[in-house]
Amino acid sequence: MDGFFPYGVQYYRPPSPPKKERTKDLRQIKELGFNIIKIQPQWNWTNPKENVFDFEETKELLDLAQKNGIKVAITTILENAPYWLAKKYPEARYTSFGGEVVDLQSACGTPSGGWPGLCLDHPGVRKAARKWLEAITREFRKHPALYIWHVWEEPHMEANSYYEMSPFPANLFCCCSSSMDKFRNWLKLKHKSIFSLNEHWHTKYSDWEEITPPARPCGGYSLLMDWLKFSEESLAEIMSFRVETIRGVDNGHLIISNSGLNTLDCGKDNWLLAKHVDEWALSLFPRFGNQCEPLCSIGRTIEALISSAKGKTCLVFELQAGGGSWGKGIFRGVPPAPKEIAAWVWSSIAYGMKGILYWCYRPETTGTESPGIAMCDLEGNLTERAETAKKLGQIINRYPVFKKGKPSLSEAGILHNRERVNLLRCALEDNRFLSRSVTGIYQALWDKNLTVRFVHLDETSLQEMKKFKILYFPFPLSLTNEQAEKVKQYVYSGGILVSECHTAQYNEYGYCSQIVPGNGLDEVFGCIRKDVGHSIEEEKIIMSDGRKVTAKGYREVYKLTKGKIKGKYSDGAIAVVENIYGKGRAVLFGTLVFESKENSSVLTRLLPEDIKPEIKVSPDIFARTLTYQKEMAIILINTRRSITEVKIFLRDRRFTINPKEIWQGKQIKKRRDYLSLTLEPLESAVLYMI
C-alpha cells in the first residue's frame, strides 16, 4: 500500500477487551483517525485441543475492522503453548541447567495462560507450532482487512524472564535434551572436530556428549561465550522458522517483528533477527514508572534498531499510551503527559520511523498489566492522551514528508560487536561499563544533532564501513581476527577510529592476547600496553593542548611504537595515543572516556569539519530535518528545563519561503538568516516548508 503510514493501536489480547465493547470501540478507533489495529489471537486460546482450531473470535475482529475501514496486524504468539501439548510432550518444557522445569502458567504478556511456551527445539512442539501457524495463515491470508503478519513480539529466550532475565548461576535456558542436541550440532558445524574445539577452548574433551552448558561464569570463558553465541543464532533460526512457515502459505503480505526496548547489550543480536523479516519494529515504553526516560536514551534505542534493519522500513509497533507498571501487580506508574507522547512520536518520525502503533487502546482486564498502559479509561472513554494521538495522526497523514521523508545521512558511527557484549556477560554481573560508554558517546553525537548509526562488524561490509568518516568504538574488549582485520582496513583506507581501552584484549573465546591492542591492532594505534593495567574510580588526563579529560573504570599505560602522545596521566604516564595508519588515523584512550559528559567536547572535536547537522539551533535542543522531494520538515523538541527562545539556522540555505509551524500553530519570527520561536520544556514544534 504505497504511501500508507500505519497509525493505530494494539487492541485485542484475550480475554481483553470485553466482547460487548468491541463494536463501539472499533467505531471510535476509526473516528480517532487510526487506520490499523494489532490483535493477538494466541496459540493456546485458538488451539484448545489437538487438531482443533477456533478462529471465530479472530474472524469477528477482522470483519469488524473491515466494516470500519481499518487494517489489521495479526500477531502470532508461540509463547503461550496449549496445555494439551505440554501434557503430550512433558519433556519439552523449558529446563534450566540446574534441572528446574518451568510449567505453563499465566504471565503479563499471556494472561490467558500457556507462558512461557514450550521449547521449539523439540520436534513435536515444532511440528505443532508449524501446524498452528499454517492454519491461522491459511484462514486469514485472503481477508481484505489483513495488512501484515506480526510474527514475533519482542524476540528473546522467554524462559529467562522466569529469573528476571538473569542467565546465571544455574538457570540458563533451554537445557532440555532437544536443545542440548541442537547446541552440540552447532558446535560440530563451527569447530568441525573435537580436536579443533579443544584448541579454541583450551580444554581436553574426548567426545561431544561430554559438553554441557556452564553452570556459572567462573573459570575460562570459552564454553559460555560459545553458548551465548549459539543462543543468539538459535533465536535467529527460530525467527526464520516462524517467517518461512507463514511465507510458505501467504507470500502476498508483509511480515514484521518488533524488538524489545534493549537493542544493543542484551542476549540477542538484532541484526541476525532483522534479516528474516520484511519490516523491523520496536517496543517503546519511555515512562514505565514514575520517571520519564531521557529523549537521548530513546534516540539511542531507535537509531540502534534502525541500524540493525539495514535499510528496511522501521516502525514503533508498541508506543506507551498510559501509565505503566513500576512494580508488581496493582502498582501503576504515572501516565504520560500529552506533550511527552508528542515528543516520543515526533522524535521517532525524525529518526525515520514509518509507522506508530500505541499500546494499548483499552486497559487490560486481567493480569499484572491491568488496568494500565492504555489510551482510554476502564469504560472506554477517551482521555487527553487519545485526543493528542488523534491530532498527531491528522498531521502525519496530511503531509507526505512524514510518510516518505528521510533524515540526513549518517557520517559518524559507533562500532558494535557481540563478542565484547558476551565476554562482559561472562565476566561481570552486568554490562554497565559498556552500556555507559555506548550511551555516553551516543549522547555526545546526539547533542550535536547528528544522525548516528551503529555499525555491526560482522554484518557490515568494508565498503559500507567506508561510508562513515569516523567510527567510535566503546570498550572493545573482545574481537575476532576477521573483525580486527576489517577495522585495520577501514583506517588504512582513510577512516578515523576513536577507541577506548582494552582494545582486542581477548579473542572470541575469551583468551587473552599477549599484546594489547590485540589482533594486530597495535599497528593501527602505534602503541602497545606496558602492563596489564588496573581498575580506577576516576582520574584526570591532561591532553597535549592542555584540556582535561575524565578517566574512569580502567587505567592503561602505553609504550609508543610509532604513534604520538596526545595525553598523559597526572604522573606523566602515556594515556592517549594518536597514529597515522595508511590514509587514516586512529586515537586510543587508555581508559573509559566515552561515559563522562564533560569529555564530549574533546571527543566531538575529533569529528571531521565537514560533518555538520543540517540545521543549527541556539541554544542546543533536539532539532532534526526530514526531506522529501521539495518538502522539508524541521522537528524541534525543547530538551532544556526552562522556557527557551530558540533560533534556527538552516545550513547552506536561506529561508526564502515562509515556513509554518504545523503542530501547535506557534508564531514564528523570521529574520534574514534565522527563524525563532519559544518552546516550553519538552514541548515540540514542527516547521514545514515547501
DSSP three-state, residue 67: helix
Average pLDDT, the chain: 93
- Predicted confidence at residue 169, as pLDDT, reads 46
Mean pLDDT within 577-584 = 98
HSE-up of residue 454 (Cα within 13 Å, Cβ side) = 26
* Cα–Cα distance measured from residue 124 to residue 81, given in angstroms and rounded to the nearest whole number: 12
Q: What percent of the chain has a predicted confidence (pLDDT) above 70?
A: 95
| Global pTM exceeds 0.85 | yes
DSSP 8-state assignment for residue 665: -
Q: Which helix (H) or strand (E) holds 675?
A: strand 675-679
Neighbours of 32 (CB within 10 A): 20
- Predicted confidence at residue 166, as pLDDT, reads 53
- Domains annotated for the chain, with CATH where assigned, are 7-117+140-175+212-398 (3.20.20.80), 412-604 (3.40.50.880), 615-689 (2.60.40.1180)
Cis bond leading into 41, ω under 30°? Answer: no
Question: Per-residue pLDDT tens for 236-256?
Answer: 999 999 999 999 999 999 999
| Best CA proximity match to 272, nearest among 459, 100, 546 | 459
Residue 193 has pLDDT above 50, yes or no: yes
Mean pLDDT within 76-91 = 97
The length of the chain is 690
- Predicted confidence at residue 289, as pLDDT, reads 75
What pLDDT band is residue 75 in, cutting at 50, 70 and 90? very high
Question: Per-residue pLDDT tens for 252-277?
Answer: 999 999 998 777 877 799 999 999 99
Structural contact between residues 588 and 576, judged by C-beta atoms closer than 8 angstroms? yes
Q: What share of the chain is helix, strand, coil (3-state, %, to 5)?
A: 30, 25, 40
Rg of the chain, C-alpha, whole Å: 26
* Cα–Cα distance measured from residue 32 to residue 37, given in angstroms and rounded to the nearest whole number: 12
Residue 163 has pLDDT above 80, yes or no: no
* Cα–Cα distance measured from residue 39 to residue 33, given in angstroms and rounded to the nearest whole number: 18
DSSP three-state, residue 185: helix
What pLDDT band is residue 365 in, cutting at 50, 70 and 90? confident
